[in-house]
Amino acid sequence: MATIDFKHTPFGELGIISMRGCEDISKKVDNYLMQWRDTPEAGTFIVPVECPRFGSGEAKGVIKHTARGLDVYIICDVFNHGVTYKMYNQVVPMSPDEHYQDLKRIIAALGGKARRITVIMPMLYEGRQHRRTTRESLDSALALQELVSMGVSNILTFDAHDPRIQNAIPLHGFDNVQAAYQMIKALIKAEPDIQLDREHLMFISPDEGGMNRCIYYSSVLGVEMGMFYKRRNYSVVVNGRNPIEAHEFLGNDVAGKDVIIVDDMIASGESMLDIAARLKEKKARRIFAFATFGLFVDGLARFDEFYQKGLIDKIFTTNLVYGDDELLHREWYTRVDMSKYVAYLIDTLNYDNSISELLNPVDRIKKAVAKHREALAQK
């Protein structure tokens, strides 16, 4: 069946709104878009906004440029604890709740004048509170419904903890984007001697919930995979969750192979480090980790310790969430830049074109791997 080649025009003039803490990635996205398009009169696609706060901690959203008729893309990192404000003369780091509230303030300040609003929220607000297991709130579903009720047409997130959360807004746009291609490219650049084949590499999921990510990588690269099962103590709650008593491994022998642990996020890193130690006991060669979001909520000391002991070799996370200078200078850490990818998504959506190819980068991954294998063969 022949496909129709639609000649799309922009849905509206492009406008990018950078929430506090997203200035760096928004500026890079803006630079890419200006390279690909005619630079607007203002010299930028970024619409200036502000959320000033009173001494009591109250705030308001202010748009400093007309947004009438714009196709607006709001970039928001609700996990940026590096952003602070003053309340009762004390410096307070912004929590996810406060970032989310500021996002709603800016949407409210647009006052229905924008032609379309798309929210790019890389790590979904309250994404881990996506299902009910007892008498508890469903925060992520409520947040999505609240955003669309305020006029948001599309929501883009990366590596959602559970993609089924989109069922909360079945009549609105929700795209769950993966960073697989960028992760593979970063791995090849950081470890040019790595062999991406069945004899030398294996992907590991740290739990049953992350199996789909692991299956994707192993299927595209044609390598084996395994997983760990988390045995939890459900009679105790520590820091809002049931503590893990042990990790049980399911999979083939990892001895002598490079291993990549794949997860959506590193919070404390406790599970990932425990799994790394278990894999080393099983004689794995080098241990790498892919995580879209690196939060490192308990600091970096344990990661330093595991690196010095040779229990982990390199951790890859993206620049979609905040990472301080202390993290960026660690030998065991590599930051994966996603700004060009975000720019591609915005550019494509603004023209109302399909982003299917951007969401499924199998061909690009295979091309990058083939090029890498060819380079290794010539050495």
| Per-residue pLDDT, 271 | 85
Rounded to the nearest 10 degrees, how much is the dihedral formed by the CA atoms of 296, 297, 298, 302?
-10
Q: What is the mean pLDDT of residues 131-149?
A: 92
What DSSP line would sit under 67-132, residue for residue?
A: -TTEEEEEE--TT-TT-EEEETTEEEEPPHHHHHHHHHHHHHHHTT-SSEEEEE-SSPTTTT--S-
For the ranges 14-18, 84-88, 134-138, 279-283, the lowest mean pLDDT is seen at 134-138
Distance CA 85, CA 65 (A): 24
Distance CA 212, CA 68 (A): 41
pLDDT digits (tens, 9 = 90+) for 207-238: 877 888 999 999 999 999 999 877 766 677 77
Q: Residue 277: which H helix or E strand, with range?
A: helix 270-281
| Per-residue pLDDT, 1 | 41
| Per-residue pLDDT, 130 | 81
| Per-residue pLDDT, 8 | 65
Confidence of residue 2 (pLDDT cuts 50, 70, 90): very low
* 174 DSSP β-pair partners: 155
| Per-residue pLDDT, 369 | 94
pLDDT digits (tens, 9 = 90+) for 23-61: 999 999 999 999 998 888 778 999 999 999 999 999 999
Helix, strand, coil percentages for the chain (3-state, nearest 5): 35, 25, 40
- Residue whose tokens read 């001895």: 255
pTM for the whole structure: 0.91
Confidence of residue 7 (pLDDT cuts 50, 70, 90): low
What one-character DSSP code corresponds to residue 148?
H
Return the biggest CA–CA distance within the chain: 67
Residue 118 near residue 156 (C-beta atoms within 8 A)? yes
pLDDT at residue 3 tops 60: no
| Per-residue pLDDT, 250 | 83
Confidence of residue 4 (pLDDT cuts 50, 70, 90): very low
Distance CA 155, CA 124 (A): 10
- Residue whose tokens read 């969430």: 321
pLDDT digits (tens, 9 = 90+) for 67-91: 999 999 999 999 999 999 999 999 9
| Per-residue pLDDT, 261 | 95
Do β-strands 90-93 and 84-87 pair in parallel, antiparallel, or remain unpaired?
A: antiparallel
Do β-strands 201-205 and 224-232 pair in parallel, antiparallel, or remain unpaired?
A: parallel
pLDDT digits (tens, 9 = 90+) for 261-273: 999 999 999 889 9
What DSSP line would sit under 322-350, residue for residue?
A: ---HHHHT-TTEEEEP-HHHHHHHHHHHH
**What's the mean per-residue pLDDT of the chain?**
91
Which range has highest mean pLDDT (147-161, 231-245, 353-367)? 147-161
Burial class for 363, CB neighbours closer than 10 Å (0-12, 13-18, 19+): exposed
pLDDT digits (tens, 9 = 90+) for 171-190: 999 999 999 999 999 999 99
For the ranges 102-106, 240-244, 253-257, the lowest mean pLDDT is seen at 240-244
| Per-residue pLDDT, 378 | 84
% of residues, the chain, pLDDT over 70: 94
